[in-house]
Amino acid sequence: MSAIDDLFSQLRQDNRKALMPFVTAGDPDLDFTAEVIKELVARGASMCEVGIPYSDPIADGPVIQASYTRALGKKVKLAGILETLGNVAPQISAPLVTMVSYAIIYRHGVEKYADQLKQRGIAGMIVPDLPIEEAAQLSKVCKTRDLSLIQLVTPTTPQDRALKICETSSGFIYYVSVAGITGERTALPPELSERVTWLREQTPLPVCIGFGISQPEHVKLLAPVADGLIVGSAIVRRMASAADSDRSATLKDIGDYLETLLAAL
């Protein structure tokens, strides 16, 4: 069992749901990335997703796109990101996963990437651009190393295809709340709860919702039908201010914001 399996097993025993923030690695630098992760976990985050900057956005909205551009402009490299996460992992009580393009994994080497995650205590990976037709190899590599391979199901994914995605996934299923890109939203689709409920009935894996979640009202609405909620752009936007302001103030702002969401969970 992976660290993520253990996490959701404990959450279910405690009748709790996961709140999982997303941060961009290297914006404004890797030292601050480490500090943000530690702050989020100290404030109650169940897990942290760490975005590996990539030049060709997959489903990223303008906030995360801009953060990736800034990080790449500062020459942030995969080796430095993994080293930073390896240093942070033993200091926190929550699993870390990378949000990473399959192009990066493939270029780096599938087994090499998985081995480096395992060596650094990273629990798994979210691979948003991995087609189900090409997922078998990476799924097998992750399974043999007790790493979670988290894949996405979207509102436009046909039901039969969603079931196939569940078969090669592990850890949890990332359910994309809207057909579109990441970003803060004031409202979420009314049919979202019904679709997530159906998916949870089809798989033993936890189902967690991401894209657009940014307000306590969203948390109150979705927590009853999901196993966890993912918050990204609202945190990445706050992280960006660290480049021009007091970092301790930015950390406090991020932590306080997370607590407002946890209070609604």
Instruction: Provide the pLDDT for residue 190.
Output: 65
Q: What is the pLDDT of residues 3-30, one digit of tens each?
A: 999 999 999 999 999 999 999 999 999 9
Instruction: Provide the pLDDT for residue 186.
Output: 47
Is there a domain that residue 188 lies in? Answer: no
Is there a domain that residue 162 lies in? Answer: no
Instruction: Kindly indicate the confidence band of residue 117, based on its pLDDT and cuts at 50, 70 and 90.
Output: very high
Is there a domain that residue 74 lies in? Answer: yes
Which distant-in-sequence residues (6+ apart) come within 8 Å of 185 by Cβ? 178, 212, 214
Q: What is the pLDDT of residues 123-156, one digit of tens each?
A: 999 999 999 999 999 999 999 999 999 999 998 8
Is there a domain that residue 209 lies in? Answer: no
Q: Which of 6, 49, 56, 246 is catalytic?
A: 49
Q: Are 171 and 150 in contact (CB under 8 A)?
A: yes
185 pLDDT higher than 60: no
Instruction: Provide the pLDDT for residue 187.
Output: 53
| Mean pLDDT taken over the chain | 92
Instruction: Provide the pLDDT for residue 48.
Output: 98
Instruction: Provide the pLDDT for residue 192.
Output: 85
Is there a domain that residue 29 lies in? Answer: yes
Number of domains in the chain: 1
* CATH code of the domain in which 16 resides: 3.20.20.70
Q: Which of 27, 60, 146, 253 is catalytic?
A: 60
| Partners of 20 in the β-ladder | 230
The closest alpha carbon to 259, from 9, 45, 98, belongs to 45
What is the DSSP-derived secondary structure letter of residue 14?
T
> The sheet that has 18-24: what strands, in order across it?
148-150, 124-126, 96-99, 48-51, 18-24, 228-231, 207-210, 173-176, 152-153
Is there a domain that residue 254 lies in? Answer: yes
Say what percent of the chain tops pLDDT 90: 82
Q: How far apart are CA 2 and CA 167, in angstroms?
A: 16
Cis peptide before 28 (omega within 30 of 0): yes
Q: What is the pLDDT of residues 64-97, one digit of tens each?
A: 989 999 999 999 999 999 999 999 999 999 999 9
- What is the mean pLDDT of the segment spanning 31-46? 98
60 is catalytic: yes
Q: What is the pLDDT of residues 200-218, one digit of tens each?
A: 999 999 999 998 788 999 8
Q: How far apart are CA 212 and CA 232, in angstroms?
A: 8
Is there a domain that residue 79 lies in? Answer: yes
What radius of gyration do the chain's Cα atoms show?
A: 17
CB atoms inside a 10 Å sphere around CB 147: 25
Q: Are 50 and 86 in contact (CB under 8 A)?
A: no
Say which range, 168-182, 191-205, 225-239, has the weakest mean pLDDT.
168-182
| Domain range for 43 | 3-149+228-263
pTM of structure: 0.92
Is there a domain that residue 195 lies in? Answer: no
